[in-house]
Structure 1
Amino acid sequence: MAYTLTGRASYQEDIKKSRFLAVAGPVRTPGEAMAFFAAHGVADATHNCWAYRVGSEYRYSDDGEPGGTAGRPILQAIEGQGCDRVAVLVVRWFGGIKLGPGGLVRAYGGTAAQCLRLAEKVEIVEELEIDCACVFSDMALVQSRLAAMGARVLDEAFDAGGVRWRLAVPKDRADELSRLFADMTRGRGRWEVVGG
């Protein structure tokens, strides 16, 4: 079971006169992760180290810190918290005391982990996109029942025959929802998996 964040989170800690600021946020693509780092990086900081995980894709950066002492520990914090579709940036302002490789690993990984611990998370539910349509007389019942079972309306269009929806439905309930939709529309509705 994987989790993502409901919104942006931050955590700050001073370690041996260096200030560490972690900023984390939900992302859907590697491109969004890179945009997140660009938006939250601090130009006058000593280091802007980061990591993201989006499904099987991940990247990290030590931004001038010794190799493996910053980005990798941030990624390990993301994985250790069971997170996915998450980007974490840890900004460091050097305070004059060198931490050594072990100290850097603990500082970057620990700051990132604490930020994620404090962040509000939500379970990632794998979804399918569905194109469906029904007549106006079935619309209210269908809409309320599908919403109650976790379906989200992504797009809605009306024509003379009724309503057409693009839905996101929980993948593990798609078959059950398809049968329910057929029952509610007495077989007259259209239900198609997008790209299926």
Structure 2
Amino acid sequence: MRPDRTMTRKVQADIARDQLNQALSLAGMKVREDGKVATVKRARTDSEALDRTQHLRNLLVRRDAHDAVLAYCRTELLRTDFYEAVFEAIKGLGSRIRQMTKTEGDGYGLIDATMCGKEPVLAINNLNTRTDRDEQLGVANLAKGLFSAFRNPVAHEPRLEWQMSEQDALDVLGTLSLIHRRIDAATVRTVSTP
């Protein structure tokens, strides 16, 4: 676990250190980032030991993940439960859009109702140019894709039949961060009725 031995495989070494530290915490020890073993307050239960690993969360923080992504899946991330973390974070996107737009609905339909069409309720830019309109449609399609590809299967498939890797979770949560950052600058518009 010494840094000079793990430099070429840092991500894998961090994962291994987290897994090792889960077990070591039950004996009151941990491996620090410098590779040295240190004493820590002993974990009394397996749940407490699991709570001490924060590898996925640390990776997201390093990638500057949006606060809304971290807020909606904090507990699950601390337990490195990728399946639940992604599910909660995507549900969180829907919740944020509903709160901002005062629109009911969920998933694909919510995105259609709020971010699509000539006069979307939730506009991520001024929609004046073709580029602006393309960006609006692209972000809406990203959000629809996340709901369709990751939220819906998780909601409808048994957990044992639908797995989520750490890399996939990072990619999905990174995409969610991008969408949240675009929504940070969005305007909620009143749609004119004919």
The TM tier, using the shorter chain, reads under 0.3
Please identify the structure whose Cα radius of gyration is greater: 1
TM-score between both structures, scaled by the size of structure 2: 0.22
Which one has the bigger helix percentage? 2
Q: Which has the higher contact order (CA 8 A, sep 6+)?
A: 1
Question: Which has the larger share of strand?
Answer: 1
